[in-house]
Amino acid sequence: MSELAFKSATELAGMIQAKEISALELLEHYLERVERFNPDLNAVIVLDVERARARAKEADAALARGEVWGPLHGVPMTIKESYNIAGLPTTNGRPDMKDNIAEIDALAVTRLKEAGVVIFGKTNVPLNLADFQSYNEVYGTTNSPWDLKRGPGGSSGGSAAVLAAGLCGFESGSDIGGSIRNPSHFCGVFGHKPTWGLLPPRGHALPGLLVQPDLSVIGPLARSAADLEAGVMAMAGPDELDGIGLKLDLPRPRHKKLGDYKVALWMNDAIAPVSKEVQDRVVAVGKTITAAGGMVDYGARPDFDAAEAHGIFRTLLWSAMAARTPDADFEKLLEAAGELSPDDRSGGAQMLRMQTITYHDRYTAHNKRMHLRWAWDAFFHDYDALIAPIMATPAFEHDHSDMGKRKITIDGEERPYWEQLFWAGMAVCSYLPSTVIPTGPNDEGLPIGVQIIGRQYGDLETIGLAKLLEAEGYAFTPPPGYE
């Protein structure tokens, strides 16, 4: 039965519709696995068992009547803690929000239910969704199923861990600085950061917040590329306000076989050096495309300065993240920024200035970002995708020290912790879709993923390329010990 646990969501939905297994039986299978494996992982931190059992029974009864709710009919799933589900807590890992119980479902949750899923729990996050790890004072620390001494990534770390360990059929997370993609890479699963705004995030928020934050997106994690497409299509499309005049019409993949693709590789950069083994996986994907008859360019880049682009992203990111800060804490940031010496160019001082910039300065950064977006647009007239790392190394050991002092060791050299935002930010800053595919474990048994970046609204195109590469062996591999 362990093979059942690791099937893709679309395969599981097919089995339910073919009546090879009932939705209730599949739910009980995953609940048993959560009971057995979650104590060590601490990935599922809220359970909603009785409502899930009732919905699974409804799914089976509907199927008996010949009704199929949607492409994920009856598939049991968990979801990132930051999504509102009526009757369940949404805390973002903040102790002051531990008693915050959502009154209504997030729009994405409603749409996933319309696609047929059975949601039975929520998965762990870091404090304020702001770390490459997933731990907080409310729910504790989540461990990687590949090595309990290591983290599963963040902020959708619980999402990636449960998928890799075979504790659910499907997941959905969010991403502003790699929060879908670095956990996917660390845990060896597929993940998709959509085009900004494609999946309305209403209800992926704490009370009273309705504005979609700049840069931030919600999106699926899964054990297959086909599942990513199912998740995107379930959650995508304008909300009620925009839907009056807008409709969803995503372009389909332009090519049907790998040999028709022309891609660029960005293997490494002095701004954020990447380990040799991660670079080698990017090159391996390029060689797979070349072997199929496709074209690979190892030097092509969009027409902008990478360091300047990263500076624009950091300005937009840290000011957007500061907008999530409680009022009292933001006042402290303002005070600290006001006390800075004009000559203080330290990293902490620069971050404070970015967190508290004026609207004028943020508008200036936004205008510079528009130049980047047009440069990417020109680039994708010549190339179907850009393939790059998402993080410099496989998953690292837990590190709960002061964030400003953390380091990541890359081929024996210590580098700044937040430097890795460079690879996440390439797609985030310019609102581009990015799909992470697994490339298999390394010699230490730790997964490595790479990201496929595409043109704006080319979400089905990057996922389409991921499907073709999955067929060539870039597929999910279960971690040992979860049979």
- Is 1's pLDDT higher than 60? no
Residue of 134, 172, 179, 224 marked catalytic: 179
Query: Which H helix or E strand runs over 42?
Result: none
Question: Residue 278's pLDDT is what?
Answer: 98
Span 106-151, pLDDT tens digits: 999 999 999 999 999 999 999 999 999 999 999 999 999 999 999 9
Can 275 be counted among the known catalytic residues? Answer: no
Residue-range domain boundaries for the chain:
2-257+462-471, 310-358
Burial 25-34 (b: 16+ CB within 10 A, else e): ebbbbbbebb
Q: How far apart are CA 233 and CA 115, in angstroms?
A: 9
Span 429-446, pLDDT tens digits: 999 999 999 999 999 999
Can 155 be counted among the known catalytic residues? Answer: yes
pTM, entire model: 0.98
Question: Residue 45's pLDDT is what?
Answer: 98
Length of the chain: 483
Span 162-199, pLDDT tens digits: 999 999 999 999 999 999 999 999 999 999 999 999 99
Question: Residue 404's pLDDT is what?
Answer: 87
At 451 the three-state DSSP class reads: strand
What's the topology of domain 2-257+462-471? Amidase signature (AS) enzymes (3.90.1300)
pLDDT band of residue 73 (cuts 50, 70, 90) is very high
- What's the average model confidence in pLDDT over 219-242? 98
Q: How far apart are CA 397 and CA 148, in angstroms?
A: 9
Give the strand pairing for 171-175 and 190-193: unpaired
**In the chain, pLDDT over 90 holds for what percent of residues?**
97
At 90 the three-state DSSP class reads: coil
- DSSP for residue 129: G
Span 339-357, pLDDT tens digits: 999 999 988 899 999 999 9
pLDDT: is 327 or 197 the higher one?
A: 197
pLDDT band of residue 325 (cuts 50, 70, 90) is confident
Can 179 be counted among the known catalytic residues? Answer: yes
Question: Residue 2's pLDDT is what?
Answer: 65
**Gyration radius of the chain over CA positions:** 21
- What's the average model confidence in pLDDT over 89-96? 97
Closest to 208 measured CA to CA, from 93, 327, 331: 327
Beta carbons of 410 and 275 less than 8 angstroms apart:
yes
Question: Residue 187's pLDDT is what?
Answer: 99
Residue 224, token pair as written in the block: 């297959």
- What's the average model confidence in pLDDT over 373-382? 98
Residue of 8, 82, 155, 156 marked catalytic: 155
Residue 459, token pair as written in the block: 């979400």
DSSP assignment string, 351-417: HHHHHT--HHHHHHHHHHHHHHHHHHHHHHHH-SEEEE-SSSSSPPBP--S-GGG-EEEETTEEEEG
Largest CA distance in the chain: 72
**In the chain, pLDDT over 70 holds for what percent of residues?**
100
